[in-house]
Every structure is written in structure tokens, then in C-alpha cells.
Amino acid sequence: MRRNKPYSEDFFSSASSFARYVDGVLSSRPDGSNVDEIYFFHLGFALDKELFHRVMNFAASCNCQELIVSVRYGEILEPHLFVPLADSNLRTLRFRCATLETGFGSSAFSELRVLDLDECWLPCGSTADLDPFANFPCLENLTLCGCAMEDRRCCFKISGPRLVKLLIYELCCSKLEIFAPELKLFNIIDNAKSPILYKLTLPSLDHAIISVHNNSRVEKNKEEMKASCISLLQGLHNASSLNVHSKFLQEVLGVQYASGTPEN
């Protein structure tokens, strides 16, 4: 939480002092008042889940539009913590350094438009595939930066019937499948952790920027990477503007066009 009040350097020296500060912020708001944005920046000690749950209740009661949560790296945020936000008017949600368990978003965020995950761990559950955003029917903008899956062998699926903007930076998983029929902008910027792009369904795509540098995987399995690149090109063939920054992908693109139109 953020409040314009001075405090000493050791004010947040313990979890209890932090809890007292948050309680003070919550109690200072008059009943029924609206708060557009809530910033919850946690410190180095273990997260007080009861305190966090109270903050979520407060966010729902004050008609919060944007919630930003930054916690200790790897802190687990269970789905039940967000139940107070079910059917709320929350439009923007940003997480940093959290571990999101299976069921995240299953009962909340029905009106969410923007989701930003920075250095978060994503669950796999009991199946080989994961589609963590299937329960976000209104999601329009999704950003994944430095995120990883608990089981990197899983196929990571992104389903967004109303998704129009998708930005991916260094997503650590083995395979990536995207279904976004309304997507207009797609950026994927990655390094040696680049996933295999298994299947892309992007019929409305306007602009794409692809910067993938996965030399180690290319050397280990060129045929697998070639198949991934062809799948990528198939998914991007409707884009009116395509910027490619990948030597291997450019080579595949050149071969495909040299032999005719890329496969559809």
C-alpha cells in the first residue's frame, strides 16, 4: 500500500510494523470512498496472508480499478486470496515475483482488461497442458516478462477471445500455443530460453515483432526448431507488418519463400 506519510528508516523493520501501517491506511479511508489504484509492495519478510486478504477485501469495497502487487521472490499467492475480487470492477492487475498456484483466476477478475506478470512462476497443475488465462473472458492486454513454469516440459497455452495485445519477454517453457482470434499486436522477444512455438491462431493480426535468439537449441535440434519457425510463420501470415530479428528464422523464411509461398 502507498500513503503519503513520512516514516523512519526502521518503521518497516518487522512484519508487525508493516501490518500496523497497512491497517492505518485501510482505516483512514471513509466508508464508500473510491480508490482508483492500489499499490501493494511487500518487503523481505514472509507475507501475512490474512493481511493480504484484508487488502483484497478493501480493493473490492472501494471499487479499485488497478491493483499492483509486488512480493518477495517466489511468494505463493493461493487462489482463495483473490476471492473478494470476484465480480469486482478491477480492470488492471500487475504482479511481480509471485508464484501463482493452479486455479489462479478461476473465480475472480471477470472484468479484467489488462494483466501484467513480471518474473512470476506459473503452475502446471495435474495435466500436461496449462491454459491459465482461459477464465479471463474480457482480457485485452497481456504481458509476460521473465516468467517461468514450474514444470517446463508442459505446453503453455494462451487463450484470449478478446485479446488484442500480447507481449512476451523471456518466457521459460518448452512449447507455446496461442489462440487469440482478435489479436492485433504480438511481440515475442526472447533469448536461449525460447519456447517451441507449437500452434498460433491469430487471424486478425496486424503487427508482429519477433526477436528470438536460441542458438543452443538450434544446434541441438535444427529440425525441431525449423518446424517451430514454420509454425510461427503460419500463425503470422496475416500480419500487415512483420519485423523479424532472428538469423535462423530469417534463413527458414528465405527457404520457404524460395520454394514458394510459406505453408498455410
Domain map (residue ranges) of the chain: 29-258
| pLDDT recorded at residue 195 | 67
Higher-pLDDT residue of 44, 200? 200
Cell numbers of 185, please?
499486436
Cα distances from 28 to residues 24, 33, 59, 139, 255, in angstroms, run 6, 11, 14, 32, 65
Please tell me which of 58-67, 122-131, 237-246, 252-261 the model is most confident about, judged by mean pLDDT: 58-67
Contact 9, 42 (CB under 8 A): no
Show Cβ contacts of residue 264 under 8 Å, excluding neighbours closer than 6 positions: 234, 237
Q: Model-level pTM?
A: 0.81
Q: Would you say residue 218 has pLDDT above 80?
A: no
- The whole-angstrom separation of Cα 79 and Cα 76 is 10
The class of domain 29-258 in CATH terms is alpha beta
| pLDDT recorded at residue 234 | 77
Beta bridge partners of 114: 92, 141
Beta bridge partners of 66: 37, 92
Contact 156, 175 (CB under 8 A): yes
Predicted confidence (pLDDT) per residue in 30-77, tens digit: 666 788 999 988 766 778 888 888 889 888 888 899 999 998 888 888
